[in-house]
Structure 1
Amino acid sequence: MTAVSDNLNLLPTVLIWLVHFKFCLSDEIGENSTVDYSSIPSVDYDDFPTLCVKNHSFRLWFISIFYSIICILGLAGNLLVILTFFYFKRLKTMTDVYLLNLSFADLLFSLSLPFWAANSVVKWVLGLPLCKVIHAIYKVSLYSSMFLLSFISVDRYFVIAKAISAHRHRSQAVFISKVSSAITWVLALVFSMPEIIYTNINNNTCTPFSSTVDKFRISIQASQIAVAFVLPLLVMTFCYCSIVRTLCQARSFERNKAIKVILAVVIVFLVCQLPYNVVLFWATVFTANGGTEDCKYHNSLIYATDVTQVVAFMRCCLNPFVYAFIGVKFRHDLLKLMKRFGCMSQEMFFKYAYGNRRRSSAATETESTTTFSP
């Protein structure tokens, strides 16, 4: 036991000596040798991927400002249309029914814009259920609006280009329009279901897709372009071209005004929807080809999507002016509504409602109808 105890007492002394010898040896090597740094391989930092920084400041002011403007105008215009329809009970034609449903679709879409604006600039903190609801409102209103615009053009086609056939089914027109409107909402919900199902919160953002469903995203975006843009465009082109051809053969003094109205409708549709769908098509092709590592190109595509999407969203505040307020009788009813609610004086009402007294009563009656209204 004594020998073992003596060895244990010597152990610290041996360890200290070994450490001291190591330091001395390393100092001697450091004084008498050199290190060849050229043998160390250099690191090429270009091989490392660079982080693509997105300019969130642009989205912060651009989307916030324009979404707010569109939301306010959309709520005001579509609420006026809805109030006028219900107050004066103007559901007498197919176009009246379609316009009312179109106003409801655009109103719902306007109500969802503040949520989309917040989703673009800050983290989504409202949970997954509300995320799915907001996205459902957006998609259903998009599809229903496009379908209803197509139905309005078809109704105008039969009323003007096929007047005899339309007059024969005049008693059933309102019922047919109500049934077709209900079918429109159902179809809009059906076409929206795939995106609603896959809507999720990724990176604190409410988004309809995740990175694991790129192929599904491509097919959905392609179907949206086909169903919500190309199909309505073809229907409207055929119907309005036939209407213009019929009007050119007529000798009514209202012909030129009706043609101008139709051209305004088509131009507004193309200006609002064509740029966004072109960018959406290119983004779909871009995703299908696997994207790109060019950060500048990627950011440019995001900017183009944001700008054209804002222009496309303007449809919800332009539709009341293009389809409803352009009619003389509807404007007259709107003025009466504003006068009864105290928003307009008696003098202003007579000034705007009966200012053009020089026109004949027959002309006023013709213009009051929806025959030439798109």
Structure 2
Amino acid sequence: MDNFTEDFGTSTSVTIPTDYDDYLSSTDITHDFDELENTICDRRWVRQFRGYYEPPLFWMIFALGMLGNLLVVWIYTTVHNRLKTMTDMYLLNLAIADLLFLVTLPFWAIDAQSGWIFADGFCKVMSALYKINFFATMLLLTCISVDRYVAIVHVTEAHNQSKRVRLMQSKLACLVVWLASCVLAMPEFIFAKVKTDPSGPSFCTLVYWNNEQNRTKVLVLSLQICMGFCIPLLVMACCYSVIIRKLLQARNFEKHKALRVIFAVVAVFVISQLPYNAHLVVEAGQANNATMTDCDTLISFDVIGQVVKSMAYTHCCINPFLYAFIGVRFRKDLLKLLHKVTCGNLTGPTMPPKRPSIMSDTDTTPALSL
């Protein structure tokens, strides 16, 4: 079984008990590369595929994600008293988490194209930062689901609480999310290392401790699957299923709009995250008990891993449009702020009041959009 995995590259072959570098260092006989190719599975093509596929995609995600999330931060930090609800606080932190995650993508794009050209310590920092914001994003989406459940299903109790108390609760929840994310990202800081590939450039990857059946790797992958997908999906499913039942009972012509928002939220989460986490489940099983030994199968598995990982990354540029721009109140604030910038009108246009509805998220009405 291989001794390490590459989160941002390719895995070593499982056709021999040690990885490529260990194979070279453990033998006293000098082998040329052609002879080594006959001994282990040559998976250089996966790295070439990654070099062509990931850089343009990562730069596109980076550009779109930075634009959307910077707009969200701009709204929340510019509009007076914009942080009115718990979800507002979660959305601001979600945008910050997405921005910090996006900052790491250019470095992984360079790593895919030219190898890791930075210091070993920077490899640890980038790996940990990437994982901190990955977990923070998923946990904040979970908090948003719980807040929407409370605001819609337990509307009386929610409005009996003062806004100040709810905002304090949201700040405390965000603090817990960031602390938990830092703890969950510790494996990245511990195991991230710059590895030298004899057939190519160095790369930043995870190097796990050698132990029986790769238990460390299995534990780390299981942690990521549970905290990064299973628990958020379970909470979202429970909250939104109750919300849907509540909306179906409501006699409101706009309930169908709210239902569409719910289905969009769940669908985007599942479509972007399920394939990647399913791949991680197979990878954990492979680490525990190698079942794939055919070279072509291993290469196909690696390529699929690169594709589904990229799909999961797109969530950070979809979040602003899904959780913020679909909201009536958020769109109104955005248009008002754009009017101030373009026309120089500091007071903004006087907007006629709208009838409160389940979609408006006013101070007196629960909402799904924000």
TM-score by length of 2: 0.81
CA distance in 1, matches of 2:138, 2:359: 29
Q: Does 1:206 align with 2:204?
A: yes
Q: 1:63 aligns with which of 29, 33, 54?
A: 54
Deviations, residues 125-172 of structure 1 (Å, cap 9, x unaligned): 211111111111110001111110001000010110111221222331
Deviations, residues 314-339 of structure 1 (Å, cap 9, x unaligned): 11100000100001111121122223
CA distance in 2, matches of 1:99, 1:48: 53
CA distance in 1, matches of 2:235, 2:140: 11
Alignment CA distance shift 1:157-1:366 (3 Å): closer
Give the % identical residues: 38
Higher helix share: 1
Residue pair 2:153, 2:246 contacting (<8 A) in 1 also: yes
Structure (1 or 2) with the larger CA radius of gyration: 1
Q: Which residue of 2 aligns with 1:260?
A: 260
Of stretches 256-265 and 167-176 in structure 1, the one that deviates more from structure 2 is 167-176
CA distance in 2, matches of 1:174, 1:363: 22
Of stretches 205-214 and 140-149 in structure 1, the one that deviates more from structure 2 is 205-214
Alignment CA distance shift 1:220-1:266 (3 Å): same
CA distance in 2, matches of 1:67, 1:271: 18
Q: Which residue of 1 aligns with 2:20?
A: none
- Return the letter of the residue paired with 2:257: K
CA distance in 1, matches of 2:38, 2:87: 61
Q: Which residue of 2 aligns with 1:152?
A: 144
SS of the aligned residue for 2:84 comes to coil
- Return the letter of the residue paired with 2:278: V
List alignment gaps of at least 5 residues for structure 2: 1-34, 197-201
Q: Which residue of 2 aligns with 1:250?
A: 250
Deviation, 1:191, is 0.8
Q: 2:44 aligns with which of 51, 54, 59?
A: 54
CA distance in 2, matches of 1:154, 1:304: 33
- Return the letter of the residue paired with 1:205: F
Alignment CA distance shift 1:242-1:366 (3 Å): closer
Residue pair 1:323, 1:373 contacting (<8 A) in 2 also: no
Q: Which residue of 1 aligns with 2:269?
A: 269
Q: Which residue of 2 aligns with 1:186?
A: 179
Residue pair 2:209, 2:216 contacting (<8 A) in 1 also: no
Q: Which residue of 1 aligns with 2:67?
A: 76
Alignment CA distance shift 1:53-1:154 (3 Å): closer
CA distance in 2, matches of 1:51, 1:312: 28
Residues 1-374 of structure 1 aligned to structure 2 (within 5 Å)? 49-55=39-45, 56-88=47-79, 89-171=81-163, 172-203=165-196, 204-210=202-208, 212=210, 214-290=214-290, 292-342=292-342, 361-362=354-355, 367=360, 369=362, 371-374=366-369
List alignment gaps of at least 5 residues for structure 1: 1-44
Residue pair 2:358, 2:368 contacting (<8 A) in 1 also: no
Alignment CA distance shift 1:316-1:287 (3 Å): same
CA distance in 2, matches of 1:365, 1:237: 20
Residue pair 2:139, 2:232 contacting (<8 A) in 1 also: yes
CA distance in 2, matches of 1:50, 1:146: 38
Residue pair 1:94, 1:177 contacting (<8 A) in 2 also: yes
Residue pair 2:135, 2:181 contacting (<8 A) in 1 also: yes
Residue pair 1:60, 1:120 contacting (<8 A) in 2 also: yes
Residue pair 1:196, 1:208 contacting (<8 A) in 2 also: no
Deviation, 1:272, is 0.6
- Return the letter of the residue paired with 2:354: S
- Return the letter of the residue paired with 2:180: L
Residue pair 1:103, 1:320 contacting (<8 A) in 2 also: yes
CA distance in 2, matches of 1:48, 1:311: 34
Question: Aligned pairs, how many?
Answer: 321
SS of the aligned residue for 2:226 comes to helix
Alignment root-mean-square deviation, CA:
2.5
- Return the letter of the residue paired with 1:206: C
Alignment CA distance shift 1:289-1:252 (3 Å): same
SS of the aligned residue for 1:304 comes to helix
Residue pair 2:116, 2:204 contacting (<8 A) in 1 also: yes
Residue pair 1:201, 1:207 contacting (<8 A) in 2 also: yes
Alignment CA distance shift 1:153-1:170 (3 Å): farther
SS of the aligned residue for 2:360 comes to helix
- Return the letter of the residue paired with 1:207: T
Deviations, residues 99-126 of structure 1 (Å, cap 9, x unaligned): 0000000000111100111112222121
TM-score by length of 1: 0.80
